[in-house]
Structure 1
Amino acid sequence: MEEFNNYKDSVFTSNKKRAEEILDQYGYPGINLVGKEGSSNYWLIVQHCDFDPDFQKRVLKMMKKEIEKDNADGRNYAYLTDRVRKNTGKKLLYGTQVVYNSKGQAVSRPLEDSANVNIRRSEVGLQPLEAYLNQMTKLHFEVNKELMLKKGITEPILYEVPK
C-alpha cells in the first residue's frame, strides 16, 4: 500500500506540475481551446490535486470566468467548488462529496444552505441531490456487496427523489 501511495503521489504531483504550466500559459483550458473532452480531462487532474487546495482555488477562479462565457462545464465547476470547500474545511454548496453511513447509504458532507441545494445543482446542470446520492449508494453497494450482505443489507437503501 505504501508503494502504491508513493506512486500515486508522484503521478498526481507530476500531473499538477503540467496542469500549472498549462494554466500559466493559457489560463483555464476551456472548450474553445481544447474541446469538451480536453477541458474535462484538465478539470479531472485538478480535481485530484487535493494535496494543493491553493492550486485548486486558483484554477476554480479562472474556471469561473470560462463558466460565465459558457466555455466550461458547470457540473465540473460544482464538483471542484465542493472539493475546494472540503479541502479547506468549509461546508459544501452542491453536495458532490459524500461519505457512507453504517447502512452503506451515501450521505453528503455538511452543506451550506441545504434547503436550496437542488436549486444550485439545477443551475449548473446537476440532477437532484437525492438522485445523485442514490447513484452513489448503488455503486457503493455493488463494490461492497459481500460486506453489505454480511451486515444483512440485501439491497441499497435509497432516498425518495423529489418530482
Structure 2
Amino acid sequence: MLPDIDSFHWITVGVSCLIVAIAVILHYEVLSRLHRFLDTTRMGDRPRILTLIFVLLFTHIAEIWLFGLGALYLLQTPELGGIAGMQNITLFDTVYLSATTYTTLGYGDLTPTGNIRFLYGTESLTGLVLVTWSASLTFIELQRQWQGMRRKP
C-alpha cells in the first residue's frame, strides 16, 4: 500500500512543475529568437558573440529569479518547508539560494527543509539542462565564427 501523500506535497510538486515549465519555455523562446537574430544580422564576430553571451546571462538570471520568487511564494506556507540558516525569509535570500542551486554551486550556508526541497531539486536539474543548452548554442556560434576565420586569407 502506498503511503498517504498530503496536499502540501502536491502543492509543492505543482508549483515546481509550473516554474520548470515556464523556465524551459522562456529559455526556448529566447534561444530561438536569439538564434534567428544572429542568423539574419550583419554584426561583426565580436558583437555577435557578446550579444549572445549577454542575452544568455540575462536569461539565466531571469530564470534564477523565477525560481527565487516561486520559493518565496511557497515559503509563505510553513507546512511547505523552510530554509535552515535563515530567520526572516526575504526575496534576495531566496534568489541567492536559487542561484547557488540553479548553478549547482551549493555553498551549503542555507539548506531547504521540508517539501520545498523538491523545488530546489528540480531547479538544480533544470539549471544544469538550461546551462548546457546555452553552452551548446554558444559552441555552435563560435564554431561558425572559427570556420569563417579559416576561409579568410
The answer to which structure, 1 or 2, has the higher relative contact order (CA under 8 A, 6+ apart) is 2
Structure 1 length as normaliser, TM-score?
0.26
Structure 2 length as normaliser, TM-score?
0.27
Which structure shows the higher helix fraction?
2
CA radius of gyration, larger in = 2
